[in-house]
Structure formats: structure tokens, C-alpha cells
Amino acid sequence: MVSRHSYQSDPIIEQFLDETWSIHGLSDNTLSAYRTDLRHLDKFLQQQKTSLQAVELTDLQDFIAHRTEIGTSKNSQARMRSSMRRFYLFLLQKKLIQKDPTALLGKTKLDARIPKSLTEEEVEQLLSTPSDDDVIEARDKAMLELLYATGLRVTELVSLTIEQVSLRQGVIRIVGKGGKERLVPLGEVAGEQLEQYLNLVRHELVDTASSDVLFPSRRGRQMTRQAFWHRIKHYALKANIQSELSPHTLRHAFATHLLNHGADLRVVQLLLGHSDLSTTQIYTHVAKARLQELHAQHHPRG
């Protein structure tokens, strides 16, 4: 058995990642997920005395069974299968293998998972918690308002630059997954909060000539998504919000609240940057549940 310290990953993994990035422009998060999945597979195959290029369908099935046994979630398994399919298609195109071992690999059946969201009242509590009198909290307030107003991913939020924002037109230009661009309206409240932040606060955090990061950290650098996630949890605790949170809670709230107020599903899809409408449709379950609750409360025969 290969020990944890003697494992050496197959160089073909990095070649695959480099070429996939250069051709498709995938995000760092996606590439990191591919690397993790393929290294798990590579290590498992080495322990079975075989290799990535010599693999058979039964080897992949054994690997999936192994990951299931150690408690890998269905979502992670689905992503893992996607990583393997893309990797072996690459090997096939490079003529490094004769046939695709994933061709007969089944799909992981995912449970319809309804995203955790917040009520409109809870969002109001959260957004009103940061103080305008503290530089860091004023920055965070602008970030939270922008997050809720636009439905951005946290990664998209923390990587925003000054040039991506047009206060005059009231939009921001987002470069999302796969390098795809979309324009998202700011909304009146978020626009005002952002303008106030840019005029009164940002220069306290960074020399405007030295950085174009929209929301710099205390050190004047781009924040990590983990750092901002900690800030969200901090304000939720102060606001006494009991609902379960995730880094995308305000993104989920953005989508759910739009649908609750009658927004078209395809419009929400465009705003969120989803390439597939089915990804957006999960929010209709949340909106439907809310409508049923309102019907039960207010209809005379509810």
C-alpha cells in the first residue's frame, strides 16, 4: 500500500488542468475541485497497483464504492464523476488511452436540496447590524447590501474591482464561472450604500492609486471568501439570527425573494449567472413553500 507521505501524483493531472484552464478559462475553485478529485482517484489506483491511464470501468466503480464507504456526499460524488469524465475525454483526445472508461459510468442521483435562505425580516436585521461609524463595518455593510441586491457568489463579490462598477448606469459587470460575463443591476439602496462607501470609507483602507480592489481587507488587499464568510457569521450572531447560514445565504435569499415577488424564473437565471435553467428552478420550491404558507395564513379556506 502507498503511504500518505510517499504518494506522488501523476503529472498528467497537472497537464490536464493547465490545458483545461487555457482553453475553457475555468475558475480557480473549479480547477481546485478537479485536482482534488483526480488526486483521490490517482492515489486509490496506485494502492490498487494500477494507474490513471490503465484504468478500467471496474476500477472506477471500486473507487466510487470506496468513496461512498468513507462518507463522501452525493453532491461530491456527482462532482467527482464529472471530473473523471472530463479528464478521460481529455486523455482520449490526446490519444493517451484507447477507450473512455467513464462511457458506461452511471450518474449519481442527487436529492433535490432546497437552499437555506433567510426571511425578508431576517435580511433586514442582518443588513442593519453593521455600523456606518466604523470603517470595517461600513465596508461590510456595503458588501452585504451589494450581495443581497445582486445575488453574487461570495467569490465574485470579494474579487470585484473598481472598473467593474458603474454607479452612473447602476450596474456591475461580473465575470463568473468559465469567464462568462453578465451585467447585474445594483438597485437603489445598494447603489447609494456603495456610493457612500466609495466617497467616505474606501480611502481609509487603501491608497486608491495602489489598488483597484473594490472591497480591500484591513491590509489593503483582496479579501478571501473565507474572511468575508466569517464577517457574515459575526453579524448574524449580533443580529440574533437563528437560521442556518452558508456563504451563499444572501444569494439564495436574493433569488427566493425575487421569485416570491413575482420575478420571472429566466430573469433570475440571468442575474445569478446560471448556464442551465434547471439550476435556478430549485428556488421555485422555496417560493412555492412561501406561497402555500401565505395562503394557509390568509385565505378563508386555507
Active site residues: 153, 177, 248, 251, 274, 283
Cell of 59: 476500477
Name the burial class of residue 239, with classes exposed (0-12), middle (13-18) and buried (19+) by CB atoms within 10 angstroms of its CB.
middle
Residue 13 and residue 33 in contact, taking contact as beta carbons nearer than 8 Å = no
For 53-90, b/e burial (b = at least 16 CB within 10 A) is eebeeebbeebbeebeeeebeeebbebbbbbbbbbbeb
CB atoms within 10 A of CB 298: 8
CA angle at residue 55 from 52 to 60, to 5 degrees? Answer: 100
Which residues make Cβ contacts (< 8 Å) with residue 288, sequence separation at least 6? none
Q: What is d(CA 220, CA 100) in angstroms, rounded to the nearest whole number?
A: 48
Residue 268 and residue 115 in contact, taking contact as beta carbons nearer than 8 Å = no
